[in-house]
Amino acid sequence: MKIEGFGNINPAETVKTNRTQTDATEFESMLKKAFDEGDKQKLREACNEFESIMLQILYRQMKATVPESDFIEKSSARGIFEDMLDEELMKRGSMRGVGIADMMYKQLSARLDNVYKIEKPEEAPEADATQADNNETDGAEPVEE
């Protein structure tokens, strides 16, 4: 007697879907945090994480096009093992990188710089105005001797 999955729901597929959704949510929160804090190191980490997620999805789709062999019986345990193996392969592959993270970092870093440059000039005129107020002497002209 062979029992696999629960009806049309395959537990391995559910785990994969949940993991992908969690990864996307984590990436989004990392990116927002980097922008909110203006932290380029966190931005770099978010870009690397995105590249890792992208490679995992790409690899998963490529692997789906390859016909499966019946040499080793397909089971939920084998599916989970293969998913974990694929995930680890892609993490290691993304360490070397394919360039997606670098391109994203350059683009987002420039955007981050623009955001903070826009905010800094607004602060600068206020500081200049304060200094100008301190340098003025209530409208009185300096007396020459």
Dist. CA 83–CA 88, nearest whole Å: 9
Counting residues of the chain whose pLDDT is more than 70, the rounded percentage is 63
How many H-runs (helices) and E-runs (strands) does the chain carry?
4, 0
Q: What is the mean pLDDT of residues 134-142?
A: 52
For tokens 């600068």, the residue is: 124
Q: Tell me: the pLDDT tens digits for 101-119?
A: 899 989 988 887 777 665 5
- Mean pLDDT of all residues in 90-96: 78
Amino acid at 20: T
Query: Which pair of tokens denotes residue 49?
Result: 């994480």
